Amino acid sequence: MTERNQKPAQRRPVRGDAARKQQLPAVTDHPPEALERDRHPYAALDRGVIASLARVTGGISPHAMLDAWGDWAMHLARAPGRQLELMERARDNSLKLAQFAVSGLAGKPGDKPFAPGTYDTRWSHSGWDRPPFALWQQGFLASQDWWHAATADLRGLRQQNNERTGFMIRQLLDTVSPSNFPHCNPEILEATWKSAGRNLIDGTAHYADDAHRVLTQEHRPVPENFALGKVLAATPGKVVYRNDLMELIQYAPSTEKVHAEPVLIVPAWIMKYYILDLSPHNSFIRWLVDQGHTVFCISWLNPGAEQADLSLEDYRLKGIMQALDVIGGIVPDVRVHANGYCLGGTLLAIAAATMARDHDDRLASVTLMAAQVDFAEAGELLLFLDESQVAFLEDMMWSQGYLDRPQMSGAFAAIRSEDLIWSRAVRRYYLGEPDLPTDIEVWVNDTTRMPARMHSEYLRGIFLENRITAGRFAVEGRVIALKDIAAPMFVVATETDHIAPWRSVWKTALFTDCDLSFVLTKGGHNTGILSEPGHPRRHYRIGHRPAGAHYQGPNRWLAAHEPQPGSWWPEWADWLKLHSGDSGKPPALTESALGEAPGSYVLQP
């Protein structure tokens, strides 16, 4: 089925490019005088200077950092009670550390007074229990404990600045952790002794390779043993449609009969779609096909500078809406189960609300996986998102046309810097261990870019101004409302998600009135979603809210729902079956397809 001869069924008014130009922008409504200023040569000079600075700072606005520390310092200066409390804490921590040191010198080491965080794996080697390494470790953790108290809630301090200072001091402390220095780390010393220094030679080679790729911005190719289309993203299927923004993949059926309603998967464009089609044993898409569903999936283009003007509305129209049109031509006269993951889920919620407003009833259900619709409590990733930061990023994207891979991956890594940055650096550069990638690590490193206009609209309208749930998000000139969605919803959140915290995802229940099932599953943003049946030590909670029921807060919901062992996938399969019609013969894959899955867009570097 080619782009040229595709004639999908239409159930909504067709609007041409001329009509789209007259529409009210979805998330940008700058006044005319502001637009005129932006076109002035002096403005271009300012933006160029800021763009150069942004490349040095990795896209972080210095104003956001200085503002946070200034606000914290002024409020602490006028709080003598907090100052006395911190003095006492410093005294107590020093006494605990001194007592531990004296006990060690006397040959009777006691219990360690300070314990690392749950996810801090830097101290797992047994050498950290021996002197002097144990004392160095405890000294670091004592300082960490004091700074945690110093950046705790302070009366009058803006909550965002309070969280910013805590985040920044964690990053600073991580740089001076004794685990980062060869002469202070017993694991490095032991490896150096056993290998006669070979680990340091190998580590130097690894460092040189990584430095070369950072300086040249060279994209690391997917390893051959994880080749796309052969090992990863290997579920059989065909590309049935392609435009300048996405490819639509239809997967081959694996059962004699399939449910009448097809499933459309809308992945996030910040990463490539095959997070949902990894190895055969944990491929979400392959498992869904095996449950007797006709599955379609969008594979987004990896944009470059020439796609700088792609908008959020382009992603809705050329992505989700175009995919629904194509599916309507392949599987006519049936509704579609739509599933959106991460940012793809946010876009799907926008599309579903727009369709509901326009009386477009093509959705049989809406599933959102680790996706937010309200961003008031969106987690550490958005700590530095304010007007200064957004303008900083906009100027950087203005100069290059997109937000580049390192500028995004660095932000994600900073959230768990002790593990994703420093522990990896120790293993790779000091222990000489090569990266032995897993399928999910290959996907994490296979990052994409985001077009400047779309990302600016997303940051301003959705993150910064939170327009979706504030009733100020306009599509085609009219505001949309999530409460208009009548299709049943299935919402999945993960317990340790640092990107889409589960209580933020829970707010979908606050802003919708439809029949809604909510699942809270063990794991993080990716690992919680990839929770295939048979995965060890997995559990989930599930609850149901009938249409029109009163709202219940997240903590009360959590207390009322006990964890159940196993994967949440079968629960979703049962829910889909409940909202699906009779099974029948699967639709044939078109002979005029544009190539085999996984298509060409996912291979773009």
pLDDT beyond 70 at 218: yes
Does residue 412 belong to any structural domain of this protein? no
Does residue 544 belong to any structural domain of this protein? yes
**Least confident segment among 146-160, 170-184, 410-424, 547-561:** 410-424
Over the stretch 445-483, which tens digit does the pLDDT of each residue have? 888 888 989 988 988 899 889 999 999 999 999 999 999
Rounded to the nearest integer, the mean pLDDT of the chain is: 87
Q: How far apart are CA 399 and CA 582, in angstroms?
A: 54
- For the segment 318-335, the average pLDDT, to the nearest whole number, is 96
Long-range contacts of residues 531-537, Cβ cutoff 8 Å, at least 24 apart: 531/567, 531/568, 531/569, 532/281, 532/282, 532/284, 532/287, 532/567, 532/569, 533/287, 533/566, 533/567, 533/569, 533/570, 534/567, 535/282, 535/567
Does residue 47 belong to any structural domain of this protein? no
**Least confident segment among 17-26, 225-234, 289-298, 425-434:** 17-26
Residue 13's pLDDT is: 39
382 in the same domain as 251: yes
CATH number at residue 478: 3.40.50.1820
Residue 481's pLDDT is: 97
Residue 409's pLDDT is: 54
230 in the same domain as 211: no
Q: How many CB atoms lie within 10 A of CB 244?
A: 12
Residue 30's pLDDT is: 53
304 in the same domain as 333: yes
> 């041409």: which residue's tokens?
16
pLDDT beyond 90 at 47: no
User: Which band of pLDDT confidence, cut at 50, 70 and 90, is reported for residue 36?
Assistant: low
Q: How far apart are CA 386 and CA 466, in angstroms?
A: 12
Q: Which residue has the higher pLDDT, 507 or 32?
A: 507
Single residue among 216, 234, 253 that ends a domain in this structure: 216
549 in the same domain as 519: yes
pLDDT beyond 50 at 10: no
585 in the same domain as 521: yes
262 in the same domain as 199: no
User: Which band of pLDDT confidence, cut at 50, 70 and 90, is reported for residue 405?
Assistant: low
The one catalytic residue among 184, 297, 342, 514: 342
Residue 2's pLDDT is: 39
How many domains, the chain? 2
Residue 40's pLDDT is: 63
User: Which of the residue ranges 38-52, 184-198, 409-423 has the most confident prediction, judged by mean pLDDT?
Assistant: 184-198
Residue 441's pLDDT is: 87
Does residue 580 belong to any structural domain of this protein? yes
Single residue among 189, 216, 243 that ends a domain in this structure: 216
Over the stretch 327-351, which tens digit does the pLDDT of each residue have? 999 999 999 999 999 999 999 999 9
DSSP state of 245: S
Q: Tokens standing for 127?
A: 């050498």
State phi, psi for 294 to the nearest 5 degrees: -85, 115
Residue 402's pLDDT is: 75
541 in the same domain as 400: yes
Does residue 10 belong to any structural domain of this protein? no
Over the stretch 50-87, which tens digit does the pLDDT of each residue have? 777 777 776 677 888 888 999 999 999 999 999 999 99
> 């009670």: which residue's tokens?
81
Domain of residue 482, residue span: 225-404+449-603
Does residue 279 belong to any structural domain of this protein? yes
User: Which band of pLDDT confidence, cut at 50, 70 and 90, is reported for residue 12?
Assistant: very low
Q: How many CB atoms lie within 10 A of CB 76?
A: 17
Residue 267, SS3 per DSSP: coil
232 in the same domain as 253: yes
User: Which band of pLDDT confidence, cut at 50, 70 and 90, is reported for residue 215?
Assistant: confident
Which residues neighbour 495 within 8 Å (Cβ) at sequence distance 6 or greater? 502, 520, 521, 522, 523, 528
Name beta bridge partners: 239: 249
Residue 378's pLDDT is: 79
Does residue 379 belong to any structural domain of this protein? yes
Q: State the pTM of this model.
A: 0.86
391 in the same domain as 275: yes
Over the stretch 158-195, which tens digit does the pLDDT of each residue have? 888 888 899 889 989 999 999 999 999 999 999 999 99
Q: Which residue has the higher pLDDT, 483 or 40?
A: 483
C-alpha distance from residue 74 to each of 68, 146, 179, 586 (Å): 10, 19, 33, 67
Q: How far apart are CA 142 and CA 148, in angstroms?
A: 10
Does residue 429 belong to any structural domain of this protein? no
Residue 190's pLDDT is: 95
C-alpha distance from residue 599 to each of 198, 277, 448, 519, 592 (Å): 43, 13, 16, 32, 14
Q: Which residue has the higher pLDDT, 234 or 31?
A: 234
208 in the same domain as 229: no
364: burial class by Cβ within 10 Å (0-12, 13-18, 19+)? Answer: buried
Told to judge if 514 belongs to the known catalytic residues of this protein, a careful annotator would answer no
Closest CA to 320 of 288, 302, 343, 344: 344
575 in the same domain as 526: yes
Single residue among 216, 250, 283 that ends a domain in this structure: 216
Q: Before 132, cis peptide (omega within 30)?
A: yes
pLDDT beyond 70 at 413: no
Over the stretch 498-525, which tens digit does the pLDDT of each residue have? 889 999 999 999 999 999 999 999 999 9
241 in the same domain as 188: no
Residue 265, SS3 per DSSP: strand
